[in-house]
Chains A and B, each alone.
Chain A
Amino acid sequence: MSSTLLLIQLLNGIQLGVLLFLIAAGLTLVFGVMGFINLAHGVQYMIGAYLTVWFYGMTGHFGAALVLALLAALALALFLEFAVFRHLYDRDHLDQVLATFGVILFLNQAVKVIWGPVPLVISPPEFLAGTFRLTENLNYSIWRIAIIVIGLAIAALLWFLVTKTRIGMLVRAGASNAEMVGALGVDIRRLFMIVFGFGAMLAGFAGSIAAPIYSVEPGMGDGLLITAFVVIVIGGIGSIRGTFIAALLVGLVDTLGRSTITDILKLFLEPSAANQIGPALASMAIYILMAAVLFFRPEGLFPAQGRRA
């Protein structure tokens, strides 16, 4: 593998990591602060993508579609919180898993009924739609670079919100000990609602900016949700910093694993055997990483401080 190829794969890995971060950030806060397992988080990602395509069709302007999609995704998240999730905070995890799984089934099917089963596509805004020449053979989409920049900017914003503002302080305190925060006179239900809405909006945003490079289809968030759970487990539940680092780590391990493991195996295995084992091993790479992290640091890389396991 040449060094340019390695560089391209690093870029691809970071881009995947940034997307994972946007999805996992909301998940880790909801899980960390509220102790609430929201399997329907991946559906928020899908809804974000669909709404963007829908509003784009209506307005013909990507920026406007993005803003409208975010607001609509937020409204839907708050409605779901009010109608379904709010009643589950005090229940045990199994009830939460069952109910949010039901939401997945319902929304996946609803999306299919409204927009049909065929994948939809959307172009990025015009001034970012082009490509630039990366190597002699390969053009790289400017939008992918834009995703990295936007994602890093949002990570910085989140870092600021969580560490420097009052609401961020409450969120951090909530992640450590939600009951104590409640006992100190903070309206914990309202805090939950804000965290939930914000997390869902971030996932919706991830869906919006991913829509131009992936296809928009029912169930598109289901696979990413599992990866997002891997990210928050590696990063330490409730920790934004941990999630950020873990997301980049998972993005890089997954991308580099897929592009190198088979070739590495070919060095000391028959090519046919390497082709059998390589892809399987590449798919497992992030789970092996998770197992290794859990073995050495059962709380994840950067657990929320003082969090009771």
Chain B
Amino acid sequence: MRNLVSAAVMALSLAAGPALAKDTLKVGMIVTLSGPPGALGNQARDGFQLALDEMGGKLGGMETEFILEDDELKADVAQSKARALVEREEVDFVVGTIFSNMLAAIYKPVIKSGTFLISPNAGPSTFAGKNCHENFFVTSYQNNQNFEVLGKIATDKKYKKVFMLAPNYQAGKDAMAGFKQNYKGKIADEVFTPLGHKDFSAEIARIADAEADALFIFMPGGMGVRFVKQFRASGLADKMAFLSAFTVDETTLPAQKDDAVGMNGATNWAPDLDNAQTAAFTAAFEEKYDYIPGGYAMQAYDTAKLIDSAVKAAGGTGDKDAVRAALEAADFTSLRGDFSFNNNHYPVQDFYLLEVVKREDGKYHTSIVEKIFDDYSDSYAEACKL
């Protein structure tokens, strides 16, 4: 009798095993959820979850298991979690990361395993050019693009003298280089601060002294919160234009509040972008999570929709080539409206000048001022041989 039972159990589990693999889809997400930068990862998580819930927990018609991991902004943690996702969980897609240095950490283990890797935010130049890969996709932007857009804006507005400020690390240097690509005027000064800088009083005194027309600034996270507050107190905000990237957005505005109103940014989307899907998304997101979604949430939402469209078109995940072709087609309704993939699997999309506004209910968000680039692609795609 005992043998019979165990044989039955064995037979059942054998039967269940392959069946399970066939009609459930596994998606692993690795984003930063701890520490102050965790606010960014929270948005990505919520954006993806919202899309999943709206589609009844299914992507491409398949029951979907969503595995969420925190990289803690540590390369070794990110790498071991990525390994666990592809080796132990055998996920079909890895979605990650927020930060480019985390992407560098998970890239190799994920790509080596043959799993699709889709970045909902980080878009480093490293994988955009000759190191592009057929299984790697980016649904956000190439990192330099927002800065290039700001450079274009400064040129269009005929600013004669711009003061530049960024933290002293790779992304800060890329920001300066990106801005200069399209800006042809004079540069008053280029100042690098330490990463995580607390007190900008010394830098603000120099900005006041330089008498520039505009400030170009890249100060992500808490640095941006502190800078905006101190810059507003200095009275300079009324005297010069404020051109920023990743400095005033939906993750920092709850802390910056009135101090940031009227300041400018540039990116690929804002919660009030004029299309039906964005209006529905923003309303549903706020209803569910009680805060205004930013680009991080939007990109994660689009990522879920992209996976949904690809799995549906390929009729499952069995045929990787079919899934890849369907991903490349990007046949889904993006919150951004226009969206397609370039040959390097980075997006071709529109970019906008944004301004911080206060809504009637007292909440703050970025708002579209005007379109700066139509179907803008990054400058590394040419070197990609895909």
A residues in contact (CB < 8 Å) with B: 1-2, 4-5, 8-9, 12-13, 15-16, 108-109, 112, 116-121, 131, 133, 135, 137-141, 144, 213-215, 217-220, 223-224, 255, 258-259, 262, 275, 278-280, 283
Contacts and interface: CB of A to CB of B under 8 A. Distances in A.
A227 B204 CA distance: 22
A218 B36 CA distance: 6
A286 B321 CA distance: 57
B239 interface: yes
A258 B202 contact: yes
Nearest to A140: B234
Interface string B230-248: 1001111001000000000
Contacts of A135: 208
B80 interface: no
Nearest to A143: B233
Contact of B201 (A15, A218, A224, A279): A15
Contacts of B168: 279-280, 283
A279 B194 contact: yes
Nearest to A108: B35
A280 B167 CA distance: 11
Contacts of B203: 258-259
Given A118-B251, A213-B199, 4 more contacts: A1-B209, A121-B225, A138-B234, A258-B203
A112 B209 contact: no
Interface in B24-45: 34-39, 42
B326 interface: no
Contacts of A116: 39
A69 to B, nearest CB: 19
Nearest to A263: B189
B229 interface: yes
B192 A118 contact: no
Nearest to B291: A118
B385 interface: no
Contacts, number: 120
B56 interface: no
A218 B203 CA distance: 24
Q: Which 3 A-B pairs have the closest CB atoms?
A: A139-B235, A138-B208, A279-B192
Given A112-B34, A138-B234, A138-B235, A259 B206 contact: yes
Contacts of A217: 36, 222, 225
Given A118-B251, A118-B254, A138-B208, A9 B202 contact: yes
Contact of A137 (B37, B192, B196, B239): B239
B225 A112 contact: no
A112 B236 contact: no
A279 B206 CA distance: 15
Nearest to B229: A121
A137 B239 CA distance: 8
Contact of B225 (A144, A215, A262): A215
A122 to B, nearest CB: 10
B143 to A, nearest CB: 20
Contacts of A213: 199, 226, 229-230
Contacts of A108: 35
A259 B35 CA distance: 30
Interface in B175-201: 190-194, 196, 198-199, 201
24 contacts: A1-B209, A15-B201, A16-B199, A117-B42, A118-B36, A118-B39, A118-B254, A119-B36, A120-B255, A121-B257, A131-B233, A131-B234, A135-B208, A138-B205, A213-B229, A214-B226, A215-B255, A217-B36, A217-B225, A220-B222, A223-B198, A255-B201, A255-B202, A259-B205
